[in-house]
Amino acid sequence: MSPPPLEIVILAAGKGTRMRSARPKVLHMLAGRPLIHHVLDTARALAPHAVHLVVGHDAQAVAEAVTGSGVTIVLQDPPRGTGHAVGAALANISPEAAVLVLYGDVPLVTPESLAPLVADARAGALALLTVTQDTPDGYGRILRSGGAIIGIVEDRDASPEQRAISEINTGLLAARAERLRAWISRLRATNSQGEYYLTDVVAEACADHVAILGHTPRTPEETLGINTQAELAQAERALQRRQAARLLADGVQLMDPARFDLRGSLVVGRDVVIDIGVVFEGEVVLEDEVRVGAYSILRNAYVGRATRIEPHSLIDEARVGANAVIGPFARLRPGTNVGEGSHIGNFVEIKQSEIGAGSKINHLSYVGDSTVGARVNIGAGVITCNYDGANKYRTAIGDDVFVGSDCQLVAPVTIGAGSTIGAGSTITDDVPPGGLTLSRVPQKHVPGWRRPAKKV
């Protein structure tokens, strides 16, 4: 006989008042992604038959955030408590299924910690995830008698003796659908909040003599619930530590795992070194032997083998080939592709441009909408004037060109291969290959000229 199917219910109908934000709570960002996406990942890792997301407050925004993920949306309108929320989802769930309840605002729980609950539920028990913590304030307390779990009391409904209990309810539980349905139908909203508490199913299970089994997560941080910005910040650090540990285990040299932020995915080769304060966003790939300098930001970027990103550089939707040096203080904007062995130095901004292999743009330049060939040298302060106030134009620079310092290349313009542009030139017409081109006001000298004297 095959085991009962697993159905996962994620509760996300609550308001999240304590975040003090206009944004629905489960859409707040953790490591660059909405809280609810983290919970969905965890749910999917358990290979459920279906995932049911209960929405209420800001239902539309929350539902939109999960479009395309294949989850069933359940509208709980109005939200009348966690028990009522699970009851709404059960309407779509077959009686023999094992049901696992997750919270949209408990994003760090791992599939490994949840697997035992699923197994217990399949076997007919009510399984709870609980933790013992020094500061249990605000959480439901686990009531035990002779070691066995007999109920949960909410913090605000608890007596002083019950408040002293340090074992708390994480809210996550699992049981067979038919049992949950029966227990939920017996719930009463006779508590301080006038809500149907899911936690009260524990007393019902106890009355029905169903086994109630408690499990603890692998690490206590897993069950951190996000109710405030402070808790969100705490979860962010915990998740970053977890990601950093994974990279260290993969052989990355992270100069300080506490000063590392990954908001997306990072694929690394061997012997990669990441200095402090680096932020990775979106999808980033670092090939073997890449070094990333302190306080750089890489967003949707590819960095080729043995390339050095010097401190304070920003690489945004750009690619850099092997053996290149970028920065310090370089800015590569979307659509930039820097070739192998190129050097892009301080205060250089490059946008939507191809830079050929072995080219150097080392100081204070702007290169936009350009195609730059191989072995080109662009001097300090060179500007491609790509915008006339209405339209953008391209600049094409051939191989082996030398552009002297402080030139303006007014696009559309083509600079022929091997040509040299004298410093200080404003180039408005196409330049043929080879030779020297310059547009410079001739230098004057006034002999015997005297500086004005101050009038008395």
Q: Which residues are catalytic?
A: 363
- Separation CA 201–CA 32 (nearest Å): 36
Question: CB under 5 A: which stretch of 187-195, 217-225, 329-337, 447-455 binds Ca ion?
Answer: 217-225
Binding residues for Ca ion, rule CB under 5 A, total 1
**Contacts within 8 Å (CB) and 24+ apart, 442-446:** none
Which residue, 69, 171, 46, 64, is CA-closest to 118?
A: 46
Cβ-based nearer residue to Ca ion, 199 or 336 = 199
Beginning with the edge strand found earlier in the chain, give each strand of the sheet holding 402-403 in spatial order: 253-254, 273-274, 291-292, 308-309, 325-326, 343-346, 360-363, 377-378, 402-403, 420-421, 436-437
Measured over the CA atoms of residue 70, residue 74, residue 75 and residue 78, the dihedral's sign is negative
Q: How far is the CB of 154 from ligand UD1 (least distance, A)?
A: 6
Which residue, 31, 92, 36, is CA-closest to 281?
A: 31
Distances (CA, A) of 335 to 42, 51, 191, 376: 34, 38, 58, 19
Residue 225 touching Ca ion (CB under 5 A): yes
Q: How far is the CB of 197 from Ca ion (least distance, A)?
A: 12
Query: Can you give the binding site for ligand UD1, defined by CB under 6 A?
Result: 11-14, 54, 56, 76, 79-82, 84-85, 103-105, 139-140, 152, 154, 168-171, 197-199, 225
Q: How far is the CB of 305 from ligand UD1 (least distance, A)?
A: 45
Distances (CA, A) of 200 to 8, 103, 190, 259, 447: 20, 17, 11, 43, 99
Which residues share a beta bridge with 332?
Answer: 315, 350
Question: CB under 5 A: which stretch of 74-82, 140-148, 152-160, 218-226 binds Ca ion?
Answer: 218-226
With CB under 5 to 8 Å by kind, the binding choice for 113 among ligand UD1, Ca ion, none is none
Cβ-based nearer residue to Ca ion, 225 or 416 = 225
With CB under 5 to 8 Å by kind, the binding choice for 395 among ligand UD1, Ca ion, none is none
Residue 234 touching Ca ion (CB under 5 A): no
Crossing angle, helix 111-122 and helix 35-45, to 10 degrees?
Answer: 50
- Separation CA 126–CA 135 (nearest Å): 26
Cβ-based nearer residue to ligand UD1, 133 or 428 = 133
With CB under 5 to 8 Å by kind, the binding choice for 76 among Ca ion, ligand UD1, none is ligand UD1
Give the residue closest to ligand UD1 by C-beta: 140
Only one residue has tokens 């769930």, namely 93
Cα angle 275, 276, 282; round to 5: 85
With CB under 5 to 8 Å by kind, the binding choice for 376 among Ca ion, ligand UD1, none is none
Cβ-based nearer residue to ligand UD1, 54 or 376 = 54
Q: How far is the CB of 32 from ligand UD1 (least distance, A)?
A: 21
Q: How far is the CB of 266 from ligand UD1 (least distance, A)?
A: 29
With CB under 5 to 8 Å by kind, the binding choice for 366 among Ca ion, ligand UD1, none is none
With CB under 5 to 8 Å by kind, the binding choice for 13 among Ca ion, ligand UD1, none is ligand UD1
